[in-house]
Structures are given as structure tokens and as C-alpha cells.
Amino acid sequence: MNSTGPLHGYRIVEFAGKGPGPLCGMLLGDMGAEVIRIERPVERGGRQASEEALDLVNRNRRSVVLDLRQPQARTAALRIAASADGLIEGFRPGVMERLGLGPDECLSANPRLVYGRVTGWGQTGPLAARAGHDINYLGLTGALHAIGPRDGAPVPPLNLVADYGGGAMYLAFGLVCGLLEAKQSGMGQVIDVAMTDAVSNLMTPIHGLHGAGWWKDRRGANLLDGGAPFYGVHETRDGGYMAVGPIEPAFFAEFIQRLGLSEDEFADRMNPANWPSHALPIRAAFRQKTRAEWEEVFAGSDACVTPVLSLSEAPSHPHNQARGTFVELDGLAQPAVAPRFSRTPGTLRSAPPIHGADGRAVLEEVGYAPEEIDKILQPV
């Protein structure tokens, strides 16, 4: 697990879960941290090794299987946490405490530990103990209300915003901030990441526009939500789509020229009252050519027009290929490490590990004797 990444030398213990925790672990692992993932025993009929290899978010990890229902396994988990710089857990409030692996126990064993917790609703508040998913957290923050067509229901943006942009990214940011502070103070602390907090924080610019009276509190009526015909998606003759975003005057002028229209048709284009009528000739123009033909028309321009690619198409785009945005490891194509560092780049070092592959090695590293390891790892 050698690395030159900026987090090389840091050890993170991740208690396996779903959603934001695993992506956070991937981000830190990609940047060179040693991430030890503590996983539950596989139940009968559970996932096979071939399926685990496809769970790309678990790359750059070491895997230890511990049955945390057993006292000796919980003790082993605490010892691993005591050897770490940071910790990731994404269970409902109180679960880690009931296991004897909460912040009090872990910080007592390791006062420098940065203990990262990510949940949908946070560790406190009337909804803290409730179940939820990305769409629920978006719903409570106003973000979901703002996304979707003017004449339709809100549209969930996959689970990119709350789970990943809010949960995983804010947890990774919080952990790195905590690690920097602990390096100065010698003291750890607890990070409470609520996806509702994080999504609300992501919405700060929109709240600013709304507070200033520049953002209408309804879908499809604003500059950046598809309300403007020059910032949205338009269908082509063959059923493809082009993403359009020429906001600035010079970009818009080039856009209209390449579209074969006249700027005279778009007087006072920033006035929302004109957007419905302005949309008609733009939509009609895009329907005259295929997506591939429009790609040729806008190639090399500053008109801010790109094709809407599918998941299978994206890795083959010339720009993505030139930058190595997607890479292959063990025959599996996947997104490359991001962001890029000039001197200490992160690396894609290892595929998702086989369940429990590193258990014996990790337990030896934290001081267990072979016979003790046998007892900890033996099936119950």
C-alpha cells in the first residue's frame, strides 16, 4: 500500500456502512491515506468475491472482518481505532455507543483521534433517530424543491447531492480539517456531519440570491434551474440532448450565430418574462440536426454547448481520454483519482479487497498474537 499522496502516513479506520461513509473512505484512500475498513461477517447467501470486486467505491482499502456482537471483536476494533488518526462511522446516533465504540471510548484510547460521524439528520434534533435517504434530506432543505421542470414535480438528482456532495465531501473536508488541527494541538475531537446541514450549506449562494430578490422560489423560473433557454438542455433531431450555458454576452452571441439565428430575436434576453418566447426558436433550431451534427457545429467554440453523454459514452470522450479522467484497474474502467496534485499525486493503488483479506495482518500490527487472532477471526 505504498503511496505518494498528500495523506500518506495517515491511518483512517472506517466502520463499513452505506452511502457517504464509503465514498469518504475512497476519497481519503485515493489521496494516500491507509484506510482500514472494518466489515461485518458475510451472512449466508451474501455477496460473492466477484461482486465485491465491482464495488469500486471500496478501492484503496484494507479489509478486516469483525463480528462486533462479540466482546473480543469489539476490543479489537477499539485497538485498531487507537492506532488510527481518523475514524469514519455512518450509523444512526447511539449505535457506536451501544457497541462500546463511541467517541468517549475511542478518544479515551486515543486522545488524538478525529472521530467523524455522518448521518442524514445529525446527532441531535427531533429527527436524529429517524431513518431517511438522500431524497428525504434534500426535501427538508429546500434543495429538492428547486430542482426539476417548471410544469412538473421535483426531480431527485440521483443521490449525488446529499449522500455524496453533502455527506461524503463534508465528512472528508471535516476529517482533513480535524487532522490538521490535531497535528497542532495534539487533541482529537468529534465531527458531526448532518447531510441536512451540508446540503443547506451547499445552497448558500442560492439563499443569497433568494434573499436579494433575484431568485424565485419556484422551479424553472431562474437563470440556473432551466428557466432560461440559454441555460438548459435541448433535444436534437435524433432524440439526443445538448447542454447549453452561454450566459455571458460574448458567449451568447457565438451561440446564436452557430445556431443559425439572429440576435435580434433575443432582445432583453435576461428578462425572465421573455424566456418562454425566446425558447421557441432555440428549441426548433436544435431539432434540425442530430446530436453528432451539433457537436461538429459547436466544436472549438466558446458557445458553452456540449453533448449530454451517457455513462457508457463518457469515458470515450476525447477530453476525458486526454486527461485520463477514467482509468482501468484489473480490467475494470472507473473514474480516476481527483483532484490532481503536482508533487504528491493520489494514486489508484488497489482494487476493492476481498472481504476480510487483511484481517490477520492488521491485527498483528496492533499487537495481537497469532493465537489471539485465531480466536477473534474464527466464525461464531
Active-site positions read: 133, 163
Taking the C-alpha atoms of residue 188 and residue 81, their distance in angstroms, rounded to an integer, is 12
Please provide residue 357's backbone torsions phi and psi, each rounded to the nearest 5 degrees: -60, -25
**b/e map 242-263, b = 16+ CB within 10 Å:** bebbbeeeebbebbbebbebee
Taking the C-alpha atoms of residue 129 and residue 217, their distance in angstroms, rounded to an integer, is 30
Taking the C-alpha atoms of residue 2 and residue 171, their distance in angstroms, rounded to an integer, is 24
Taking the C-alpha atoms of residue 173 and residue 192, their distance in angstroms, rounded to an integer, is 12
Please provide residue 64's backbone torsions phi and psi, each rounded to the nearest 5 degrees: -125, 130
How far CA 48 is from CA of 4, 332, 351, in Å, comes to 32, 17, 15
Taking the C-alpha atoms of residue 338 and residue 347, their distance in angstroms, rounded to an integer, is 9
CB contact set of 368 (below 8 Å; sequence gap of 6+):
76, 79, 376
